[in-house]
Structure 1
């Protein structure tokens, strides 16, 4: 009987092992499906902000992680500028932008994946502020043999990540993330270069035309008025002639920065000409647009600007205003309306220039409603 009992025990143990292996196989299949789905989600992210939002928020939830953080090499603030210009997201608690590559080299001395215990040094470096991280996977992001970042996955389960196991799917994920990151940054940088004035970092004239079309359609859809301002720096040529073009360029940059600081995030600022700026104010009726323009005029006149060699410069500006009402957009030709708005604001600006400068003038849109009926 004893041999039979031994055989029964062996069969029971064998069935248990088969059950465990089957359970592991099912778990691995589910995990691979989840990673395949995550890879598709990563590849579907169009903008850098969407990619970061998925990694730092949705990925953590989908894979039941305690923390997900991301370190990115950003020596020239390119990533920061792209995020600052994003209309959808602007704050990522798990994102750390670094100027030097050394912290990444310290994490990855041999540029290979790390899986194992979350040591105090790793917690301080990668999961600062995160709660209950016991084990972790640190994924080096490498493009063209250059270490560009680190994706850090933290778990409260001490056995979730171990140096004794292989994590080929995690290594593959690191490659996908690095490619998606590089593509998103490159795509948005090119798009930004095509729409941003390189000197002032305001919109260029082409981008203004596109934005004006969008705002006119919004005006038609919502019924809210659209304020349109043309701002011209008074006596700008003497600044270039007396202090040099480098000083003139600095004044233009400083004026652009001042406008960005004084206006809302929903407003649009473009460099329209040499020393002219166009400003679009969605949802602004005439009294509000006039108040905004007057505040800008005062702010510029009261600011002490400095030239290329820090020489003090006093600058004033003239501002012409017009308003696009919903009635202007009914049955109107949109291209004609955009031209009329700019032309009207320009005529209001012309009035300022020939009546003393350093002033604000309003003129109703020249497009006659009756002509559209």
Structure 2
């Protein structure tokens, strides 16, 4: 308790009893410098975070610039490389339909799309195993790195640290974005991953949008007369089947069918359309389900795609299809309108470089069939 002096005021203790004034001043200066350093660190961190956020914003603009997923993926990896400068940026794709529609030619030996950037496939089972139950970005464990290695480019610089960003939305896994560095401290388990998680979500959303758009196009391109695939769509499927057969070394044949009606139906557009629809329904019923595709190629011509069918097998089908069409006439006003068909076969050969070569072979066969009638 303080003692009162004669004047009634508390008696002030000597500063030396508590702390030397010079020492107190020095300590205050040190604390002040520490506070200044901490403030500078906070400001620098905030500025760095803002720069990173702006970088992510610029990258995300690419995602919705185009519906061409292949182009978007290349530009995305180039932008990531330019802005964040990882030693490697790899887009691993596991979704079967995405691979077939947008990246039919990629393989584990594909060339980089930019320096240090690759788009590569990964089997669905391996992707599901790596993703596990959490869709959040993570620094892979040594076991996960060993599981990833078979799907990463062999000629990439050896990464000593990396981050794996799952590309998932609506519980659908499309693949991963892998960022790697030769610096072992570049990516650490303690680092925040919120922005990477948002980036992964938006990449997956973009992939889903591109896939949905392509599916809608599939449904929107039917031939209005026959209900079959129209010229644009059957050609698209032909190009896809051609690439797949070339890549996998499997057979592929096409049948080009030209119809002739043994009546005056050719001179009556409405009647002609009804006969065409009848013929299309017959072919649809006859042809096997699966990868076989039937489309209206133009006028009175149909095109049939026959994956995994050899030239001999396709040729054997011609008499049967011709007979089935002829024995099933279209009946109109008590009159049977006979359908006569000429067919040409085209089958994939080693010398063929593009789908048009297959169509040229079928057209030549059709011309010979017509000349022989």
Q: How far has the Cα of 1:64 moved from its partner?
A: 1.1
Aligned counterparts of 1:115 and 1:232: Cα–Cα separation in 2:
53
Instruction: Tell me whether 1:109 sits opposite 2:132 in the alignment.
Output: yes
Aligned twin of 1:322: none
Cα gap change, 1:355 to 1:178, in 2 (>3 Å): closer
Aligned-partner Cα distance in 1 for 2:299–2:98: 26
What is the deviation of 1:34? 1.0
Matching residue within 153, 159, 178 for 1:128: 153
Counterpart of 1:305 (choices 295, 303, 312) is 312
1: distance between equivalents of 2:133 and 2:217? 35
Q: Does 1:50 align with 2:86?
A: no
Partner residue of 1:148? 174
**Counterpart-to-counterpart distance in 2, 1:105 and 1:207:** 32
- Is structure 2 residue 371 aligned with structure 1 residue 356? yes
- 2:115 pairs with 1:95: no
Count of residues in Structure 1 that have an aligned counterpart in Structure 2: 252
Q: For 1:103-130, what per-residue CA distance to the aligned partner results, in whole angstroms no more than 9, with x for missing partners?
A: 1232122223243367441650563332
Worse-matched range after superposition: 151-160 or 118-127: 118-127
Tell me which residue corresponds to 1:329: none
1:20/1:247 Cα in 2 relative to 1: closer, same or farther (>3 Å)?
same
**How far apart are the structure 1 equivalents of 2:185 and 2:160?**
8
Q: Deviations over 1:40-72 (max 9, x none)?
A: 221223221122112333222222112222222
- The 1:2–1:132 alpha-carbon spacing in structure 2 relative to 1, beyond 3 Å, is farther
Q: Is 2:94 aligned against 1:73? A: yes
Q: Alignment RMSD, CA only?
A: 4.6
> Cα gap change, 1:97/1:189 in structure 2, threshold over 3 Å: closer, same or farther?
farther
Corresponding residue SS for 1:356 = helix
Q: Which residue number corresponds to residue 37 of structure 1?
A: 58
> Which structure is larger by alpha-carbon Rg, 1 or 2?
2
What TM-score, normalized to structure 1? Answer: 0.53
5+ unaligned residues in a row in structure 2: which ranges?
1-21, 236-254, 262-281, 304-309, 320-341, 346-362
Alignment-derived partner of residue 321 in structure 1: none
Measure, in 2, the Cα distance between the counterparts of 1:203 and 1:98.
Answer: 32
Q: Which runs of 5+ in 1 are unaligned?
A: 210-230, 238-243, 257-268, 278-302, 319-347, 359-373
**CA distance in 1: counterparts of 2:141 and 2:130, whole angstroms:** 12
Task: Indicate which of 163, 170, 180 corresponds to 1:137.
Answer: 163
Looking at structure 2, the residues matched to 91 and 236 of structure 1 have their Cα atoms a distance apart, in angstroms, of 50
Partner of 1:116, secondary structure, is coil
The equivalences for 1:197-212 within 5 A come to: 204-205=230-231
How far apart are 1:146 and its partner, in Å? 2.9
Deviation string 1:213-241 (CA, Å, 9 cap, x unpaired) is xxxxxxxxxxxxxxxxxx9558999xxxx
* 1:19 lines up with 2:19 in the alignment: no
1:191 to partner: Cα distance = 2.2
Question: For 1:225-264, what aligned pairs fall within 5 Å after superposition?
Answer: 233=257
| SS, match of residue 173 in structure 2 | strand
Matches of 2:99 and 2:221, distance apart in 1: 17
SS in 1 for 2:63: helix
1:294 alignment counterpart: none
* Paired residues for 1:262-301 under 5 Å: 271-272=297-298, 275-276=301-302
Cα distance in 2 between the residues matched to 1:74 and 1:313: 37
Q: Which residue number corresponds to residue 262 of structure 1?
A: none
More off after superposition, 17-26 vs 129-138: 129-138
Name which of structure 1's ranges 46-55 and 109-118 shifts more when overlaid on structure 2.
109-118
Which residue in 1 is equivalent to 2:306? none
